[in-house]
Chains A and B, each alone.
Chain A
Amino acid sequence: MIIAHPLLGPRDASEFVYLGDAALIDRPDWQAPDAAERFHAYGYLRDNPAGAHRELWYHEQGDRSWLVVTRDTVTHEISRVELARDAARARGRGR
Chain B
Amino acid sequence: MSQVNRITGGRIDRSTQIAFTFNGKVMHGHPGDTLASALLANGQRLVGRSFKYHRPRGIFTAGSEEPNALVELRRGAAQEPNTRATTAELFDGLDARSQNHRGPLGFDFMAVTDLLSPFLAAGFYYKTFMWPRAFWEKLYEPAIRDAAGLGRLSGQDDPDIYDKGYLHCDLLVIGSGPAGLMAARTAARAGARVILADEDFALGGRLNAETLAVDGRAGADWAAETVAELAAMSNVRLLGRTTVYGAYDHGVYGALERCTDHLADSGGKPRQVLWRIYAKRAVLAAGATERPIAFGNNDRPGVMLAGAVRAYANRWGVAPGRRVAIFSNNDDGWRTAADLMARGIEVPAVIDSRDRAAPLDLPGTRHVRAGAVADTQGRKGLRRITLTDGQMIDVDCLAVSGGWNPNVHLTCHQRGRPAWRDDLSAFVPGGDLPPGMVVAGAANGALTLGAALREGRAAVEAMGYADKTPLPEAEDEPRDCAPMWHVKDSRARAWLDLQNDVTVKDVKQAHQEGFRAVEHLKRYTTLGMATDQGKTANIPALAIMAECTGKTIPETGTTMFRPPYTPVPIGALAGRARGRHFRPYRLTPSHDWAKANGATFVEVGNWLRAQWFARPGEAGWRDSVDREVRTTRTSVGICDVTTLGKIDIQGRDAAEFLNRVYCNGFATLAVGKVRYGLMLREDGVAYDDGTTARLAEHHYVMTTTTANAVTVFRRLEFARQCLWPDLDVHLISTTDGWAQFAVAGPKSRDLLRKVVDADQDLSNEAFPFMACGAVTVCGGTPARLFRISFSGEMAYEIAVPARYGNAMMGVLMEAGKEFDACPYGTEALGVMRIEKGHAAGNELDGRNTAHNLGMGRMVSQKKDCIGNVLSQRPEMIREDAVQLVGFRPVDPEARLIAGAHFLDTGAEATMDNDQGWMSSVAHSPTLGHAIGLGFLARGAARMGEILRAVSPVHGTETEVVVVSPHFVDPEGERLRG
Direct contact of A and B (CB under 8 A): yes
Q: A-side interface residues toward B, CB under 8 Å?
A: 1-2, 12, 17, 19, 24-25, 27-28, 30-31, 35-36, 39-40, 42-43, 56, 58, 60, 64-66, 74-78, 83-85, 87-89, 93-95
Residues in A with CB closer than 8 Å to B872 are: 36
Q: Is A76 within 8 A of B721, CB to CB? A: no
Inter-chain CA distance A18–B249, complex, in Å, is 16
Report B716-735 residues with CB < 8 Å from chain A CB: 717-718, 721-727, 731
Q: Is B435 within 8 A of A77, CB to CB? A: yes
Residues in A with CB closer than 8 Å to B551 are: none
Residues in B with CB closer than 8 Å to A83 are: 721
Inter-chain CA distance A47–B248, complex, in Å, is 26
Question: Is B869 at the interface (CB under 8 A from chain A)?
Answer: yes
Q: Is A94 within 8 A of B722, CB to CB? A: no
* CB within 8 Å for A43 and B683 given contacts A2-B250, A75-B415: yes
Q: Is B869 within 8 A of A30, CB to CB? A: yes
Known: A28-B869, A85-B722, A94-B724. 4 other contacts (CB 8 A): A30-B864, A36-B873, A58-B714, A66-B722
Enumerate 27 A-B pairs (CB-CB under 8 Å) in ascending A order: A1-B249, A1-B252, A2-B249, A12-B278, A24-B722, A25-B723, A30-B869, A31-B864, A36-B873, A39-B870, A40-B873, A43-B870, A56-B718, A56-B722, A58-B714, A64-B717, A66-B722, A75-B414, A77-B435, A83-B721, A84-B722, A85-B722, A87-B722, A89-B725, A89-B726, A93-B725, A93-B726
The residue on B at minimum CB distance from A90 is B725
Report B854-891 residues with CB < 8 Å from chain A CB: 864, 868-870, 872-873
Q: B-side interface residues toward A, CB under 8 Å?
A: 248-252, 278, 414-415, 435, 653, 656, 682-683, 710, 714, 717-718, 721-727, 731, 864, 868-870, 872-873
Inter-chain CA distance A75–B248, complex, in Å, is 11
Residues in A with CB closer than 8 Å to B723 are: 25, 27, 88, 93
Inter-chain CA distance A64–B653, complex, in Å, is 19
Minimal beta-carbon separation of A86 from chain B (angstroms): 8
Inter-chain CA distance A56–B714, complex, in Å, is 12
State which of A35, A65, A78 has its C-beta within 8 Å of the C-beta of B250: A78
Minimal beta-carbon separation of A21 from chain B (angstroms): 12
Residues in A with CB closer than 8 Å to B724 are: 93-95
Q: Is B726 within 8 A of A36, CB to CB? A: no
Inter-chain CA distance A64–B733, complex, in Å, is 11
Residues in A with CB closer than 8 Å to B726 are: 89, 93-95
Residues in A with CB closer than 8 Å to B278 are: 2, 12
Residues in B with CB closer than 8 Å to A78 are: 250
Residues in A with CB closer than 8 Å to B248 are: 1
Residues in B with CB closer than 8 Å to A76 are: 249-250, 414
Inter-chain CA distance A4–B278, complex, in Å, is 13
Residues in A with CB closer than 8 Å to B718 are: 19, 56, 58, 66
The residue on B at minimum CB distance from A31 is B864
Q: Is B653 within 8 A of A95, CB to CB? A: yes
Inter-chain CA distance A84–B718, complex, in Å, is 9
Q: Is A39 within 8 A of B869, CB to CB? A: yes
* CB within 8 Å for A66 and B869 given contacts A25-B722, A89-B725: no
Residues in B with CB closer than 8 Å to A94 are: 724-726
* CB within 8 Å for A88 and B252 given contacts A30-B869, A75-B415: no
Minimal beta-carbon separation of B735 from chain A (angstroms): 14
Residues in B with CB closer than 8 Å to A28 are: 869
Residues in A with CB closer than 8 Å to B868 are: 30
Counting chain B CB atoms within 10 Å of each CB, the highest count among A30, A36, A42, A74 belongs to A30
Q: Is A58 within 8 A of B717, CB to CB? A: yes
Inter-chain CA distance A83–B682, complex, in Å, is 22
Inter-chain CA distance A92–B220, complex, in Å, is 67
The residue on A at minimum CB distance from B250 is A2
The residue on A at minimum CB distance from B683 is A43
CB-based closest 9 A-B pairs: A2-B250, A94-B726, A39-B869, A1-B249, A85-B721, A85-B725, A30-B864, A66-B721, A76-B249
Residues in B with CB closer than 8 Å to A27 are: 682, 723
Inter-chain CA distance A64–B721, complex, in Å, is 10
Q: Is A35 within 8 A of B721, CB to CB? A: no
The residue on A at minimum CB distance from B710 is A60
Inter-chain CA distance A5–B726, complex, in Å, is 21
Residues in A with CB closer than 8 Å to B717 are: 58, 64, 66
* CB within 8 Å for A95 and B727 given contacts A35-B869, A36-B872: yes
Residues in B with CB closer than 8 Å to A17 are: 714
Residues in A with CB closer than 8 Å to B415 are: 74-75
Residues in B with CB closer than 8 Å to A95 are: 653, 656, 724, 726-727
Minimal beta-carbon separation of A28 from chain B (angstroms): 8
Inter-chain CA distance A93–B717, complex, in Å, is 15
Inter-chain CA distance A56–B715, complex, in Å, is 12
The residue on A at minimum CB distance from B415 is A75
The residue on A at minimum CB distance from B873 is A36
Counting chain A CB atoms within 10 Å of each CB, the highest count among B725, B870, B872 belongs to B725
Minimal beta-carbon separation of A94 from chain B (angstroms): 4
Q: Is B722 within 8 A of A88, CB to CB? A: yes
Q: Is A65 within 8 A of B721, CB to CB? A: yes
Inter-chain CA distance A36–B250, complex, in Å, is 41
Inter-chain CA distance A27–B723, complex, in Å, is 7
Inter-chain CA distance A76–B278, complex, in Å, is 16
Residues in B with CB closer than 8 Å to A19 are: 718
Inter-chain CA distance A30–B865, complex, in Å, is 8
Inter-chain CA distance A44–B359, complex, in Å, is 70
Residues in B with CB closer than 8 Å to A87 are: 722
Inter-chain CA distance A19–B714, complex, in Å, is 10
The residue on A at minimum CB distance from B869 is A39
Minimal beta-carbon separation of A30 from chain B (angstroms): 5
Inter-chain CA distance A40–B870, complex, in Å, is 7
Inter-chain CA distance A6–B632, complex, in Å, is 53
Inter-chain CA distance A95–B250, complex, in Å, is 37
Inter-chain CA distance A50–B252, complex, in Å, is 23
Minimal beta-carbon separation of B275 from chain A (angstroms): 14
Residues in A with CB closer than 8 Å to B727 are: 95
Counting chain A CB atoms within 10 Å of each CB, the highest count among B249, B252, B869 belongs to B869
Residues in A with CB closer than 8 Å to B721 are: 65-66, 83-85, 88
Residues in B with CB closer than 8 Å to A58 are: 714, 717-718
Inter-chain CA distance A89–B720, complex, in Å, is 12
Inter-chain CA distance A91–B864, complex, in Å, is 19
Inter-chain CA distance A16–B893, complex, in Å, is 52
Minimal beta-carbon separation of A46 from chain B (angstroms): 14
Minimal beta-carbon separation of A10 from chain B (angstroms): 8
The residue on A at minimum CB distance from B432 is A75
* CB within 8 Å for A2 and B714 given contacts A27-B723, A39-B869: no
Residues in A with CB closer than 8 Å to B682 are: 27, 39, 42-43
Minimal beta-carbon separation of A60 from chain B (angstroms): 6
Minimal beta-carbon separation of B329 from chain A (angstroms): 38
Minimal beta-carbon separation of B657 from chain A (angstroms): 10
Inter-chain CA distance A77–B250, complex, in Å, is 8
The residue on B at minimum CB distance from A76 is B249
Minimal beta-carbon separation of B157 from chain A (angstroms): 27
Inter-chain CA distance A58–B414, complex, in Å, is 25
Inter-chain CA distance A17–B714, complex, in Å, is 9
Residues in A with CB closer than 8 Å to B683 are: 43
Inter-chain CA distance A58–B715, complex, in Å, is 10
Residues in B with CB closer than 8 Å to A43 are: 682-683, 870
Residues in A with CB closer than 8 Å to B731 are: 64
Minimal beta-carbon separation of A70 from chain B (angstroms): 14
The residue on B at minimum CB distance from A4 is B250
State which of B249, B251, B869 has its C-beta within 8 Å of the C-beta of A36: B869
Counting chain A CB atoms within 10 Å of each CB, the highest count among B250, B656, B722, B872 belongs to B722
Counting chain A CB atoms within 10 Å of each CB, the highest count among B415, B717, B873 belongs to B717
Q: Is B435 within 8 A of A60, CB to CB? A: no
The residue on B at minimum CB distance from A38 is B869
Inter-chain CA distance A17–B710, complex, in Å, is 11
Inter-chain CA distance A88–B718, complex, in Å, is 11
Q: Is A2 within 8 A of B870, CB to CB? A: no
The residue on A at minimum CB distance from B656 is A95
Residues in A with CB closer than 8 Å to B252 are: 1-2, 12
